[in-house]
Amino acid sequence: MDRDLKSIQEARECIRAGRKAAAVFAAFDQATVNRVVEGMARAAQKAAGELARLAVEETGFGVVEDKIEKNLFAARNVYEYAKDLKTCDVIAEDTARGVTEIASPVGLIAGVTPSTNPTSTIIYKALISLKARNAVVFSPHPAAVRCSVEAARVLAPLSRQGLPERYRSQLNTALEEYRQAQLVTADRPEAHLNLGLLAQAVGKTSAAEAAYRTALRLDPAFAPAYANLADLYRALDRDEQGEQVLREGLAAAPDDPALHHALGLLLVREKRLPEAVGELARAAELEPDNPRYAYVRALALQGVGQPKKALAVLEAAQHRHPTNRDLLVALATMNRDAGDRETALGYARKLAELNPDDADAATLLSELTGG
């Protein structure tokens, strides 16, 4: 089938599935809607750093630290503003005028995302759409497809959490519509990656494994499928197979930082720290603007008895990302452990200044000042 015709058919299938989901979600009560949206917001906050990294890596626009702030603004500030708003049934009454306002969803929303801020756009549009009991279908910019898909993946499984039983069968029907929409482009590895992620999210691990394997048959150099298959094996306590998958992935895509990082983490779990340090170092070298890679590398270096080198890695990363919380916490604690309380106090104060409600910052300050 012609590529343009495939795109049109895929859009039609997504709209069909979206309308089905909208009809289901429109019947939810306020308490259920609030639980779903809260879960999505928390998931987005947790994934803010990784989504920022993916967006910069794929699009080439912006810096990771700035995009983290944008993701967190969408996941925290937008959520905080909307969380207590009434969006179901009667939302206001004017007895003097005899007017009653009743909230009604519009149905299915088309979410267009730019290449400049793809992940934060998906986060806030998803939150406000579902808060108002609407479904949303996203159309990512061609230059930001993978990070957009990952942002939607992070948010989507939360829509099933905390649902009363009466809603589950309806939502399962909508999910089946989504599966069928993905199968329209079954010749593309991204479609099977999405099917694997969906299957894994609902606990169908055998189906997830098969989908990831299919993606790799279609494109043996498709790094996201290797990474997600290895993560599935991790969840199943099958790290030996996960290591094999990651090494196969690196043979096909030797310069993929995410695969080096995933292998490094696996080796840490296996307590093979000297090997892990090498993989984590390679990930950080391939992607120096990713503060998470530097942070994990430093922890591994400390674990193999190289605290000075660990501090040097953290200091270089903190120079690139001066407001990163994890780096500041690590710098404060490692300097404290090295006996340099003055330097540790400086980092703790900066952490507290940037994050005034941070419990770790308060604890560090109290410890270092003798309070």
CA-wise closest residue to 259 among 251, 31, 73: 251
DSSP state string for 189-210: HHHHHHHHHHHHHTT-HHHHHH
Q: What is the pLDDT of residue 172?
A: 72
Superfamily of domain 256-317: Tetratricopeptide repeat domain (1.25.40.10)
Burial of 61 per CB tally in 10 Å (0-12, 13-18, 19+) = middle
CATH architecture, domain defined by 1-91+104-164? 3-Layer(aba) Sandwich (3.40)
Does pLDDT of 161 surpass 60? no
Residues in the chain: 371
pLDDT in tens, 92-140: 888 888 899 988 898 899 998 888 889 999 999 999 999 999 989 988 8
**Alpha helices (runs of H) in 219-320, residue ranges in sequence order:** 223-235, 239-252, 257-269, 273-286, 291-303, 307-320
What is the DSSP secondary structure assignment for residue 116, as one 8-state letter? S
302-352 pLDDT tens trace: 999 999 999 999 999 999 989 888 899 899 999 999 999 999 999 999 989
Gap between the Cα atoms of 2 and 30, Å rounded = 44
Predicted local distance difference test score (pLDDT) of residue 20 = 78
At 219, give phi and psi (nearest 5°): -145, 95
Q: What pLDDT does residue 164 have?
A: 63
Pick from 43, 20, 27: nearest CA to 164: 27
Does the pTM of the predicted model rise above 0.75? no
Judge whether 187 and 218 are in contact, CB under 8 Å: yes
Q: State residue 158's pLDDT score.
A: 54
Domain ranges of the chain: 1-91+104-164, 186-254, 256-317, 323-371
Q: 91 pLDDT band (50/70/90 cuts)?
A: confident
Please report the sign of the dihedral spanned by the C-alpha atoms of residue 131, residue 135, residue 139, residue 145: positive
pLDDT for the residue 141? 83
Asked if the domains 1-91+104-164 and 186-254 are classified in one and the same CATH topology, the answer is no
pLDDT digits (tens, 9 = 90+) for 341-366: 999 999 999 989 987 877 778 888 88
Identify the band that residue 169 occupies on the pLDDT scale cut at 50, 70 and 90. low
What is the CATH code of the structural domain delimited by 186-254? 1.25.40.10
Confidence class for position 198, pLDDT limits 50, 70, 90: confident
Contact 137, 109 (CB under 8 A): yes
3-state class of 221 per DSSP? coil
Percent of the chain surpassing pLDDT 70: 94
* pLDDT tens-digit series, residues 171-192: 677 677 778 878 888 999 988 9
Answer yes or no: are the C-beta atoms of 136 and 108 closer than 8 Å.
Answer: yes
